[in-house]
Amino acid sequence: MQKYLLRRGLFALSTVIGVSLIVFVVLRILPGDPLVALLGVEGHSKMSPADRVIIMKDLGLSDSLPVQYVRWLRDIASGQLGKSFFRGDTVRDLILHRGPLSAEIAILALVISWLVGLPVGILSAVRPNGWADAITRFFSILFIAIPGFWLSMLLVLALLFWFGYKSPILVVHLWEDPWQNLQIIIGPAIVLGLAQGAYIARMSRSCLLEVIREDYVRTARAKGAVERAVVLRHALPNALLPVVTISGVLLGFVLGGSVAVEQAFGVPGLGRALVTAIIERDIIVVQNLVLLYALIFVVVNALVDLSYAWLDPRIRYQ
Amino acid sequence: MLSLLRQNWLSAAGGIVALLIVLVALAAPLIAPRDPLKADFRHMNKPPSTEAFFGTDQVGRDALSRVIYGARTSLFVAFSAVLLGTTLGSLWGVACGYLGGRFDALSQRVMEIFQSFPDLILAMAISMAIGTGLPAVIVAIAITRVPFGGRVIRSVALSVSAMPFVEAGRAAGASQFRVMALHVLPQCVAPYLVLATTHLGVAIVIEAALGFLGVGVPPPTPTWGNMLADAITGLVPQWWLVLFPGLAITVTVLAFNLLGDGIRDSLDPKLAPTVLRLVTGVGRGARTAGATTATPATSAHGQPGAA
């Protein structure tokens, strides 16, 4: 187990380093002169060469790329993460201020997806091709196709119409005012949770259907266990393993999807900060936030893999 | 198509709808009742009526015409991105699966790293780096498709490469390239089609999201995504400006997804059951569960997150 742990950890670490290199290269080498991005084509053409040198030095962009990369790594290690081009605050402040909202949304979405997806998946697997199964399949196909941000827009529209809903403007933390906080995060969490729930339902249905055909389940039935116990105690634990893994993959969807969903709900979370930074072409903020999103994805999937190894000894001893 | 119809009417319906949408996109100038770019300040923000079925927007442009022309841009972007990204990825995957060795190992690492980014975020960052325009958006979406194409087709190529006829080709003295192109590649075409169809749906959603976030195809060219972005610029969004473009996205994605499911189901499930399950990704094995014998463990391990 320890060897597996070490191997998986090193693997994740190398992935993160690769990710940071890609983020860095994409944002430095491709755009040509970063000042065009910053000042616009017109502003860039008006700038004198002397100004240019000063601005570049100010932003720390005049050093060679390897030096800049190492400096970035040092910034990450120190926890400051560099400064925004436009605002004085460091990226760390930005993440600490807006991150909690997005994290709450992601976690709540995950909880909702399990609470909705699992029972629905079990119900439709118990009676395959029954009416509950048909409805489930219809909705899971539908929810996989509906873009989350559009569903959010429709929800906002309906809330606006019936309840005079207003988009939150300020960040309200859980520890400041739990009720306000819940009002901000509940909408995005439901939209994202339902979409993931559709995948969880499909996955748990197909896995449960496969497990239910196994011999040991028939044995459980033969020894006289009630159907409820057969499904919940004997079949379900084995069917759950792949569903756990899928949750890690789905987190990628939640992270990506939350960017657009936050925008639709007007939630001032991290996703919105990323969109703003991209539109403003704030390279330092973008590179740190993109790295953070990828980092979360890598770490969670490493944890999922480890939990999988813990749940299923066959993997541990490979 | 006929065998598909017999097996699964839902997928056939998806295929027909997808075909209709493509036709609408191609024939947009013939079908659209008005010029999608022409503002009409006498008819601003009008709700749907017999004159404008989908209503008009803040500057009086006909929303129906914009949705129809939007199909053009959105589908063009999606098709190009898939044709570019999924195809490149698949060819890379064929090379990985056949050649194996260090090239394969390195490629796998690169693809895994690219898969660590959420699709939308990677597409946003790339399109920011190379500028927002039609080509930039296409390239950005295409790059997000490469690793998915690569990893799935690699596993197909891997199992094909182990088959006797490939060895026979090699034994007959064919070059590496010839064996790859004439023996391995043709076997990967069917899974590629399934993959490409499902990727079309994904590409349409990413394009829409990019447009919605203001980093996609820039206005005034209508796309479903930037129509949704336009819809919320007003103080009070008009419901028809939100409803119809989103409905267009949902119906199109649904149609392509159902079509993809149908193509997968009509392929011989015994050919390579695990591979076919991998192709369609998360939990798509639902309907073929009876036909395949793949255990949950194997299907889960094909997922991008599991190492």
> pLDDT of B239-287, one tens digit each?
788 888 889 999 999 998 888 878 877 775 544 444 444 444 433 333 3
Residues of A in contact with B209 (CB under 8 A): 147, 149, 259-260
Residue in the structure block whose two tokens are 């064929």: B94
pTM of the model: 0.84
Which residues 261-300 of chain B have a CB within 8 Å of chain A?
282-286, 289-290, 295-297, 299-300
- Interchain proximity A202–B121, CB inside 8 Å: no
Q: Rg (Cα) of chain B, in Å, rounded?
A: 22
- Which helix (H) or strand (E) segment holds residue A152: the answer is helix A148-163
Average the pLDDT over each of A15-29, A30-44, B98-112 and give the range with the smallest value: A30-44
**B130: which chain A residues are within 8 Å (Cβ-Cβ)?**
30-31
Could you tell me which chain B residue has the CA closest to the CA of A266? B232
pLDDT interval class at A87 (50, 70, 90): low
- Within 8 A by CB and 6+ apart from A179, the residues are none
For position A71, what pLDDT does the model report?
A: 81
Supply the pLDDT for residue B78.
92
| A314 to A3, A210, B111, B293, B298: CA distances (angstroms) | 14, 19, 26, 19, 12
| Portion of chain A with pLDDT greater than 90, in percent | 4
More confident residue, B180 or B297: B180
Return the pLDDT at B77: 92
Contact residues for B153 (Cβ-Cβ < 8 A; gap 6+): B89, B90, B93, B94, B97, B188, B191, B192, B195
Residue A262 predicted with pLDDT over 70 = yes
Answer whether residue A240 shows pLDDT above 60.
Answer: yes
Q: Are B148 and B172 in contact (CB under 8 A)?
A: no
- Percentage of chain B modeled with pLDDT above 70: 79
Q: How many CA atoms lie within 13 A of A76 on its CB side?
A: 17
Mutate to test the interface with A, among B74, B108, B115, B116 (most CBs of A within 10 A): B116
Residue B58 has phi, psi (to 5 degrees) of -60, -25
Burial class (CB in 10 A: 0-12, 13-18, 19+), B112: buried
Q: Does B121 have pLDDT greater than 50?
A: yes
Q: What's the mean per-residue pLDDT of chain B?
A: 77
**Of B162 and A174, more confident:** B162
The count of CB pairs under 8 A between chains A and B is 191
Three state DSSP letters for A101-142: HHHHHHHHHHHHHHHHHHHHHHHHHHCCCCHHHHHHHHHHHH
Does residue B227 sit in helix, strand or coil? helix
Instruction: Give the contacts of B121 (CB within 8 A, at least 6 positions apart).
Output: A255, A256, A259, A274, A290, A293, A294
> How confident is the prediction for chain A on average, in pLDDT?
81
pLDDT at B5: 52
Tens digits of residue pLDDT in A147-177: 888 998 888 888 877 776 666 666 777 677 7
For residue A74, what are the CA distances in angstroms to A69, A71, A77, A82, A92? 9, 5, 5, 10, 14
More confident residue, B290 or A234: A234
Higher pLDDT, B46 or A194: A194
- Specify the amino acid at residue B292: T
Per-residue tokens: A33 = 């002169």
ipTM of the complex: 0.84
Contacts of B228 in chain A (CB under 8 A): 149-150, 153
**Which long-range contacts (C-beta less than 8 Å, at least 24 apart) are formed by B47-53?**
B47/B238, B47/B240, B48/B240
Which residue type is seen at A221? R
Measured N-to-C along each axis, helices B119-130 and B185-213 cross at an angle, to the nearest 10 degrees, of 70
